[in-house]
Amino acid sequence: MSSSLAALNDWVADVARLTQPESIHWCDGSDEEYQALVRRMLDNGDLIELNQETHPGCYLHRSDPGDVARVEHLTFVCTPERDDAGPNNHWMAPADAHAKMDELFEGCMRGRTMYVIPYCMGPIDSPISRCGVEISDSPYVAANMRIMTRMGKPAQARIEREGRFVKGLHSVGELDPKRRFIMHFPEELTIKSFGSGYGGNALLGKKCHALRIASHQARSEGWLAEHMLIVGIENPAGETHYVAAAFPSACGKTNLAMLIPPEGYRRDGWKVWTVGDDISWMTPGEDGRLWAINPEAGYFGVAPGTSESTNPNALKMLNRDAIFTNVGVTADNQPWWEGLPGQPAKDWQGRDYDPANGPAAHPNSRFTVSAKQCPSYSDKAEAAQGVPISAIVFGGRRASLVPLVSEARDWTHGVLMGAAMGSETTAAATGAVGVLRRDSMAMKPFCGYNFADYFSHWLDFDRPGAKLPRIYKVNWFRKGDDGKFLWPGFGDNLRVLEWMLKRVTGQVDARETPVGNLPRAEDLNTADLEIDPAALDALLSVDEAGWRSELSSIGEYLEDFGPRMPGKLREEQRRIADALKA
C-alpha cells in the first residue's frame, strides 16, 4: 500500500471512530452507483421523482425550510494568527475550532452510511487541477458531487499518485441552526462542515474547497483561484479569445457565461462558448500568459429568473438528468419557478401553492446539472492546459456614475478596479435601496485569507516576462433620469466584449480619462440596436465630481484593511484622485 493511500485510509478510519457510522461506502463515480443513490433517496423521501416523460432523469429535493442558503455568519477561517484571516473573514483559533467541531461530530453518523467521496477539481489530467476527499453522511451530497466534480476512481488514483488532497468532513447533523458551523483550516487543507445539507455548505468541493481553501493554496503556489466565469468569444474569422469575469450576485454572471449573440452577430458568424459559469483557476503559463480551467464539472445554478428570455441556453440543459432543489412543481409534476410559463400546483415546501405564502420556488432554489448539457459547452473545458485568458472583466450593479465599460490603464489600475467593485442594493435584497456594498473581485465571502494580502498577491503577477490579460470594468445597469436602464444587456453585451477584444488585438483606439480608457461612441457596434445617441453618450460619460467622491470612498475602504494594504494600491488610488482634481 502506498503511503498516500495509507494516509487516506488512516484518516477515514479516524473519522469513522469519531462519527460511528453504520456502514462505510467508498464512492467510485459509476452510473450504477449514482442510480443506487437516487433509488435510496426516492425510498427515504429525500428525492421526489419528477415527470419522467418531460424531464427524464430529473428529481426534486426539498431541504429543511431553515436550511436554504449559505450561512456566512457561521463560516470561519481558522488560521493560527487572526490577522492572516483578515477583517474580511470570521476567525477562530484552529485548536478551538477543531474542539468545537469534533464535539459536534462525535457519534453523529450512528445509523447512517458514511460516504467517502474522492474528487478532482478540474480536468483529471490537468496540472492546474487539485484533488480532495469529502466524507459525508448525505447521499444527496454524494449524488451532487458526482455531477459537480470529477468524482470517483480516477480522482482516487490521482490522490494516491500525488499524496496530497483537501480533507473535507461533513454531516447534516440534526439540521439545527444553533449547531451549524463551516470551518476552514487553510494551512491544514481541511474543511469541517456540520448541521447543513444546503449546497454551498455541504458540497465541500464548491465554495469551501474551490475558493476558500484554493485561494490560500493559490497564494502559496503562485496562481489565482477566483469567483469568475470563463467564456470563449469566437469571431467570424474563427479566432477565439477567452474572457474571465467576476460579478457579485444578481449581476447576470450566468447569462454572460452562456450568452447568445444578437441575430446580426449570429448571421455574421460570431459564436460564444461556455467554459465555466462560476469559478476560474488561473496560472501563469510558460508563454507568460494566464491559463485558466473551470475546476467544476457541473452547474449549481439559481433557478428563479432562468427563462427563455433571460437565458435560453441554461433552460435547454434542464430537461433531463438534473437535480432540482426547492423549486415548485406543476400539476403534472414538472419543475416550476418564477419566470417560467404555466402555473405551479405545489410550492417549494410541498404545500398547495398559495401566493399568500410567498413565491412557489424559494428565491435561492437551485438546479444541479452536468456542464456538458449546456448547448454552448466548450470542449476546452476538459483541456489539461486550460485556456489562455485575453481579458479579465469586473462588474457590478450601479445605477449611475460607472460607465458601460472602461479599460484599466495597466495591471495595477486593474487590480484597483477589482478591489473597488461593488453593487447597489435593490429593493428585492434589502429595505434600503441604492446602498453601495463593495465586494472586491466578487470574493468577499470566499477569500480564504486577508484581503490586503490577496491584493498584494494579485499585484505580484505584474513581473518581467508576464503577458497579462487586459482588465476591464463593466456596468450593464446604468439608468437614465426616468429610472429605466440605458443599455439593453443580455446578448447585446457581446457588443462590449467585441470592443474589448479589438482593444486586446490593437484594432481600435480609446478615449483616455482619469478613471480608465473608454470607447468612442463610433467604435461600439450598434448595428440593429435601437439606442438613443443621448443614452450612449450617458453610458460613456465621466462625472468628474461624482468620481472624486467615489475615489475618496475607495480610499476609505482600502484603509479598513489596515497596515497590510499594499502601498502600490493606495498610490494608484491617490494617482487617480489627483488626476480628477487636475
C-alpha 212/C-alpha 448 separation (Å) is 4
CA distance 401 to 545: 10
Active-site residue, selected from the candidate residues 208, 251, 374, 447? 251
| Nearest Cα residue to 103 out of 12, 204, 18, 10 | 18
Dihedral sign computed on CA atoms, order 264, 265, 268, 271: negative
- Residue 545 CB contacts under 8 Å (≥ 6 apart), including other chains: none
Binding-site residues, in ranges, read 70, 198-200, 207, 227, 249-255, 278, 364-366, 397, 490-493
DSSP 8-state secondary structure symbol assigned to residue 381? G
Contacts of 30 (CB under 8 A, 6+ apart): 152
**Is 251 part of the annotated catalytic residue set?**
yes
Is 47 within 8 Å of 138 (Cβ atoms)? no
Distance CA 382, CA 70 (A): 29
Backbone angles phi and psi of 434, in degrees to 5? 80, 10
* DSSP secondary structure code for residue 560 in this structure: T
- Could you list the residues known to form a binding site for Mn(2+), using ranges: 207, 227, 278
Element (H, E) at 324: strand 322-325
Query: Cα–Cα distance between 337 and 328 in angstroms, integer?
Result: 6
Using N-to-C axis directions, what is the helix angle for 214-221 and 451-459, rounded to 10°? 40
Instruction: Count Cβ atoms below 10 Å from residue 24 Cβ, excluding itself.
Output: 15
User: Residues forming the annotated binding site for GTP?
Assistant: 250-255, 366, 397, 490-493
- Judge whether 292 and 279 are in contact, CB under 8 Å: no
Cα gap 434→42, rounded to integer Å: 45
Q: Among all residues, which ones are annotated catalytic?
A: 251
